[in-house]
Structure formats: structure tokens, C-alpha cells
Amino acid sequence: MEKLHIAIATNSIEDTIKDYNERLGCEPCSFIVNEYALWRTESLNFSVRQDPTCKPGELRHLGWEDSTASQFSQTTDVNGIVWENFSAQQQADEINEIWPEANFSPE
């Protein structure tokens, strides 16, 4: 199964979490204080990250959470947008590598 992945930047992770909890109807499944949050719904994989290299609300990248992905891959489309393809476990591994305290498991 594939879920659309959307990753945006923010300058206020706490305010963004409050807003998107309401919009998505659930709380993030992974949260790193002052840095990152991830929501995984039935159809969407959505992340926000405090990223000083991006403006708040700016698209960081798009992609697919794909249960059949054998490895993480990344391409850039004709518009310069980065597209990632990954499994839920590959995403969890990346989160745990960047933030070991997350101890995130997708299940």
C-alpha cells in the first residue's frame, strides 16, 4: 500500500502540532521537542520539521510511504521537487538515526 508523504517546514513545532492535530484528527505518532513531528493516517504520511533553511510552510519534499519499497530512494522531478520513496520501517530507521531518543516504531 502507498501513502502520500508530505514534508513541510515550520518555525513553531508546538503551534504546528496543535493546528495539525485538529486538521488531521489525530496526534503525531512521533514527536521530537522543538524539532519534528510525524503523523501517519490511513492515507497520509505527513511530517513537519523546524528547518532554518526553509520558510515556515515551505515544502521540504514529497514522496510515497510504500510497503513494497526495498530501499529508500530519492528523485527530483522536472519542477525541482524532491520525491522520496520508502517503507514505514525505513522512515523509522531514519528518524531513530537522527534522533535516537525518539525510539520510534511504525507499528
The 10s digit of each residue's pLDDT in 70-88 is 999 999 999 999 999 999 9
pLDDT band, residue 107 (cuts 50/70/90)? confident
Q: Is the pLDDT of residue 91 over 90?
A: yes
Residue 7: which of 86, 68, 96, 107 has the closest Cα?
Answer: 86
Question: pLDDT tens-digit profile of 32-81?
Answer: 999 999 999 999 999 999 988 999 999 999 999 999 999 999 999 999 99
Q: What's the pLDDT score for residue 33?
A: 94
Report yes or no: 26 and 41 within 8 Å, Cβ to Cβ. Answer: yes
Q: What's the pLDDT score for residue 101?
A: 93
Alpha carbon distance 105, 107 (integer Å) = 6
**pTM (predicted TM-score):** 0.91
Domain layout of the chain by residue ranges: 2-102
- 22 vs 58, 71, 102, CA distance in Å? 20, 33, 23
Give domain 2-102's CATH architecture. Answer: Roll (3.10)
| Radius of gyration over every alpha carbon of the chain, rounded to an integer in angstroms | 13
Q: Is the pLDDT of residue 1 over 80?
A: no
